[in-house]
Amino acid sequence: MGILNTLAFGVGALTGSQVGLRAIWRRTPRPHPRVLAAILEHPLRMKYRNPSQSLGPFGLAEGKSVLDLGCGTGVFTGEMARQVGGTGAVHAVDIQSALLERAKARLVGTDLAGRVHFHHSGAYRLPLDAESIDVAVLIATFSEIPNTLLLLEELRRVLKPNGYIAISEELPHPAYLPAPMVRNHLREAGFRYGGQQGNPFCYSLLHFRE
């Protein structure tokens, strides 16, 4: 086989597998497989997902109460804890205990550990008080949760009246949803659009509860 044929075959196989994988994920959203946890922390991902830069558009600040929904292995949890300071709190929630344990292990022995409360829970019934959260952050997570309506109802319950949801999606994630689709879901659930940053490869959206 000539080099051009080999190249064409490679591109075709890659495109076909990507289209197939994404179609499956779109039809049946599911949690990130735990055997692929290392991908979340991969240096290539960190090139476009530097935690402090990624959280920049979310307006986290001293004293805030933040929900890290779908915290995974905690790539962003520690930076959230740093940004909310000693008077703030981070609630890191994940449906997969193995990933949650990995997230906990990252913070052991650091002065950030006391600011983070870990919860093994699904998204439809969070172990949090009503109106207790300033910012609910979902990084590469919104598109993995099948029932968007139940998810957004629960986020409305836990958010303070002036609270908001920060959703970030990235194209390499097989469950990736384009920003207009995510905005539609939020609009239909009655959240007020608060802005978009980034680009189609990796974007962030803010939506206010009221």
Ligand X SMILES: C[S@@+](CC[C@H](N)C(=O)[O-])C[C@H]1O[C@@H](n2cnc3c(N)ncnc32)[C@H](O)[C@@H]1O
Which stretches of the chain bind ligand X, using CB under 6 A? 31-32, 40, 70-72, 75, 93-96, 99, 122-123, 139-141, 144-145, 173
Our CB check for ligand X shows the closer of 80 and 186 to be 80
Q: 114: which 2 tokens?
A: 């006391």
- Residue number, 121 or 196, with CB nearest to ligand X: 121
Q: Using the minimum distance from each CB to ligand X, give the nearer residue, 55 or 89.
A: 55
128 burial via Cβ count (<10 Å: 0-12, 13-18, 19+): buried
CB of 15 to ligand X, least distance (A): 22
In angstroms, the CA 1 to CA 73 distance is 43
Tell me the sheet residues that pair with 166.
Answer: 137, 206
Of 11 and 46, CB closest to ligand X = 46
Q: For residue 31, count other CB atoms closer than 10 A to its CB.
A: 16
Q: How far is the CB of 7 from ligand X (least distance, A)?
A: 31
- DSSP code per residue over 43-54: HHHHHH--HHHH
Q: How far is the CB of 73 from ligand X (least distance, A)?
A: 6
Minimum CB separation of residue 57 from ligand X in Å reads 15
The C-alpha atoms of residue 144 and residue 28 are separated, in whole angstroms, by 9
- Helix, strand, coil share (%) of the chain residues, nearest 5: 45, 25, 30
Residue whose CB is less far from ligand X, 127 or 190: 127
Query: What is the rounded distance in angstroms from the CA atom of residue 65 to the CA atom of residue 160?
Result: 10
User: Which of 167, 186 has the CB closer to ligand X?
Assistant: 167
Q: For strand 65-69 and strand 89-94, is the pairing parallel, antiparallel, or unpaired?
A: parallel
Closest approach of Cβ 9 to ligand X, in Å? 30
In the complex, minimum distance from the CB of residue 140 to ligand X, in angstroms, rounded to a whole number: 4
